[in-house]
Amino acid sequence: MASSIVAAVLLLSSFVASTESIQKYQWSYDTTTAAIPFPTDLCAINAWPTEQPGAPYTAKLPDAELTAILGEVDPVRIQAIIEKLASFGTRHTLSTQTDPVRGIGAARDWLTLLEQYKGFAEERSSDPERYVVVSASGVAISMELAHAMAKHRTAATMIFAAVAGEEQGLYGSAYLARIFSIRLDNVEGMWKNDIVGSLIGDDGKNRSSIIRVFAQGLPTTKTATRASQRLSIGGENDSPARQLGRFTRDVANNNVTGMSVELVYRADRYLRGGDHMPFLAAGYAAARFTEPREDFAHQRRDVQMMDNGTQYGDLSEFCDFYYISRVGKVTGAAAWSLAMAPDVPKNVTVDTAGLTNDSSLKWVKVAGAAGYEIVWRPTSERFWTHVIGVGEVSNATVRVSKDNMEFGVRSVGANGYRSLAVFPFPG
């Protein structure tokens, strides 16, 4: 112990002496010959990355048509839909199919209105081979959006789906995803609304302007080789689902919806799942909307009043219909913006044939695109930071190193709507 103390004292003495020497040197230094002073703002001097081509990335605000559509989303009508569905008495999958006023059969027959809206939307799409899907086990948002959008024409077909059997094993959504997959349909995005009815969680706090969107990371449908390649090039944050999540935040996080869209980087909450999962399993981009903090007393519980005054059950009295309408606006802004955009560019690659500090990207052009944009961000950033318009071309070189950045390529329509960004693989 004593020798350690002596050694420490000797080291400290050496350091003090060195410091004095430095000070003497500085005092004798002729400041008139100094070329570059020591920087006072290291953060500004050493900003990273040093190359920043393109323009700062900005989100697209709703245009006049979308603003008008979202203005039609009506909390009073949503309340009427929810209370009508509740009036059928039960949503049990084994309830009667033939009773005209009670059970899932009566509810299904009433929901034929939703199917009529779907068919009308299909007639008014200019590209029947592309689909955008909005699904909900609670169908009020789907019905309200179908009502608001049925009179408008989109590029892709919008489908507002009501599915059954979620809690028994996602049967309805699995069937729907399987039909799309068998037909090799181009489903560009799918959103699931579930547990979006209350702005007050189990802690009693009001979070009226927040909605979570869950987005899966690594796709589970790709081969082991492809998954390994994605990991090796740092693409685990750029799956189709993550791109859909970023897209949703871009187009729906604004004053028109009145909501802050909080992107959560996982497929769903712990111990839970939803109707977006079969779409993810089929290889489609899918995401889930859920309120910011749940109250589990009002989920999957029999309706009962406890002796301590706690009310259990999924009852309409715990719904905030204005909050639900704003979630509907978020969903509508995302679905409409994707349905109005061109298809995504195909076969997007980045040239890795040689060592270079530039980034050369290629893609196959798609019908309906008036041009293309390259978006990029540093690898440590969650959201795009820069965008470069490159015109109606199929390749471009960006003067920034692919080693330091994440890239995406997206299509741009003549109407200004953008597709999802596509992550480039080496090619």
Helix (H, G, I), strand (E, B) or coil at 116: helix
More confident: 417 or 301 = 417
Cross-sheet strand order for the sheet of 386-391: 55-56, 386-391, 371-378, 405-412
More confident: 234 or 363 = 363
- Highest-pLDDT range among 34-38, 226-230, 322-326: 322-326
pLDDT given for residue 256 in this prediction? 96
pLDDT given for residue 36 in this prediction? 55
Q: Which two tokens stand for residue 337?
A: 């913006």
Cα separation of 325 and 276, whole Å? Answer: 21
Nearest to 156 by CA among 335, 379, 364: 335
Q: Cβ distance 61 to 70 under 8 Å?
A: no
pLDDT given for residue 8 in this prediction? 40
Cα separation of 161 and 174, whole Å? Answer: 12
What is the CA 399 to chain-centroid distance, rounded? 28
Nearest to 168 by CA among 119, 98, 95, 225: 95
Q: Cβ distance 290 to 214 under 8 Å?
A: yes
- Name which of 85-89, 185-189, 293-297, 323-327 the model is least confident about: 293-297
Is residue 151's pLDDT more than 50?
yes
pLDDT given for residue 379 in this prediction? 92
Q: Which two tokens stand for residue 313?
A: 């059950």
Sign of CA dihedral 5, 10, 13, 19: negative
Element (H, E) at 155: strand 154-162
pLDDT given for residue 124 in this prediction? 56
Angle between helices 321-340 and 75-86 (to 10 degrees): 110
pLDDT band at 114 (very low <50, low <70, confident <90, very high): low
pLDDT band at 171 (very low <50, low <70, confident <90, very high): confident
Which residues are paired to 164 by β-bridges?
Answer: none
- Name which of 89-93, 174-178, 363-367 the model is least confident about: 89-93
pLDDT given for residue 37 in this prediction? 56
> Which residues in 334-361 are b (16+ Cβ under 10 Å) and which e?
bbbbbbbbbbbbeebbbbeeeeeeebbb
The DSSP code for 217 is S
- Counting Cα atoms < 13 Å in the Cβ hemisphere of 266 gives 7
Q: Which two tokens stand for residue 202?
A: 């189990």
CA distances from 75 to 81, 223, 345 (A): 10, 45, 38
Q: Report the mean per-residue pLDDT for the chain.
A: 84
- Name which of 119-128, 242-251, 409-418 the model is least confident about: 119-128
Q: Pairing state of beta strands 286-290 and 186-193?
A: parallel
pLDDT given for residue 47 in this prediction? 60
Is residue 9's pLDDT more than 50?
no
- Name which of 18-22, 53-57, 211-215, 408-412 the model is least confident about: 18-22
Q: Which two tokens stand for residue 127?
A: 């590209």
What structural domains does the chain harbor?
64-340 (3.40.630.10), 343-426 (2.60.40.10)
- Name which of 46-60, 181-195, 207-221, 260-274 the model is least confident about: 46-60
pLDDT given for residue 29 in this prediction? 43
Q: If you average pLDDT over residues 120-143, what whole number do you get? A: 70
More confident: 307 or 29 = 307
Cα separation of 202 and 155, whole Å? Answer: 42
Helix (H, G, I), strand (E, B) or coil at 78: helix
Is residue 419's pLDDT more than 60?
yes
pLDDT given for residue 416 in this prediction? 96
More confident: 306 or 349 = 349
Cα separation of 248 and 262, whole Å? Answer: 10
Q: Which two tokens stand for residue 211?
A: 């909605």
Is residue 65's pLDDT more than 70?
yes
**Quick one: 19 exposed, middle or buried, by C-beta within 10 A (0-12, 13-18, 19+)?**
exposed
Cα separation of 292 and 198, whole Å? Answer: 9
Is residue 26's pLDDT more than 70?
no
pLDDT given for residue 197 in this prediction? 85
Is residue 297's pLDDT more than 90?
no
Cα separation of 88 and 105, whole Å? Answer: 9
pLDDT band at 353 (very low <50, low <70, confident <90, very high): very high
Nearest to 173 by CA among 191, 185, 157, 188: 191
Q: What percent of the chain has pLDDT over 90?
A: 51
